[in-house]
Amino acid sequence: MKFLAEEIEDYSELHTEDESGLLKSLNRETHANVLNPRMLSGHLQGRFLSMISRMIRPEYILEIGTYTGYSAICLCEGLQPGGKLITIDINEELETLTRKYFGESPFEPQIDYRIGNALDIVPTLSEVFDLVFIDADKINYSAYFDLCLDKVRPGGFLIADNVLWSGKVITQPDTKIDKDTQALLDFNKMVHEDPRVSNLLLPIRDGLMILQKL
C-alpha cells in the first residue's frame, strides 16, 4: 500500500494537520486489537477525506464499509449542521468498538450506522447523497457504483478506496490475476469510460478514485 518513500510519507504527515485525540485513540486501538488494521484510513488519508468533505459541505454522505469508524468520523467533519452520514458494514463483530467511538465523537447524532449487506440496504435508501465513500469488498465495487450513482445529486462525488490494490493492478502478460484484482481492474476501466462521471485516480496510500457525477 505504500508507494512513496517512507521518508516522503513521514514528511507529508509531519506537515499535515494532526489527528484529533479521538482519532489517535481509535487508530491505536484498531492496530492493537483488530485484525487487518491496514484497512483503517489512517492519518494522511483521513485528513484528505476530512478536507474533501469540508470543501463539499455535504448534507448527506453514504459510506459503504465502516470498519472501526475512522473514515466515517473524518467525513463527518464537513457535514452541514443537521446533515447525516449513513455508514454500512457487514461485520457485526466490530459493532461494539465502532459504536463506542461514534458515541465519543461530536457527530453521534448525525451518524446512522447499519449492520448488513450494502447490496440489500442501499436500494432501500431514499436520501440524495452529496458524497459517497466506497471502501468495502472489492468484488462488488462495480455493483456499489451502479447502485449509488442514481442516488448521488448532479455535481456530487463518489470516492473509491484501494483502487491500486498494493500495485497489483499493474500486471504483466503472464501474471495470474486474483478475483479482487480483476474486480478492481474492471471497476477502474468501467468508471474511466463512463460518460456520466469525470474521474481522477490519485496515488494516495492505496489509491483513491475520485468521481464527480456530471
Residue 154 resides in a domain: yes
Helical (H) or strand (E) element with 160: strand 152-161
What is the per-residue pLDDT for 169?
Answer: 95
Query: What percent of the chain stands above pLDDT 70?
Result: 100
User: What gap in Å lies between CA 211 and CA 196, rounded to an integer?
Assistant: 10
Report whether pLDDT(76) > 80: yes
Give pLDDT, residue 175. 81
> pLDDT for 28-48, tens place per residue?
999 999 999 989 999 999 999
Q: Has residue 144 been placed in a domain?
A: yes
**Distance from C-alpha of 105 to C-alpha of 155, rounded to nearest angstrom:** 29
Closest of 16, 9, 93 to residue 51, by C-alpha: 16
Question: What are residue 115's DSSP bridge partners?
Answer: 89
* Cell 468521481 found at: 211
- pTM for the model stands at 0.96
- Res. 53 pLDDT band, cuts 50 70 90: very high
pLDDT band for position 202 (cuts 50, 70, 90): very high
Contact criterion met (CB below 8 Å) for 75 and 63: yes
Residue 1 included in any domain:
no
The total domain count for the chain is 1
Amino acid 173: pLDDT: 81
CATH number at residue 16: 3.40.50.150
pLDDT of residue 128: 98
d(CA 159, CA 32): 28
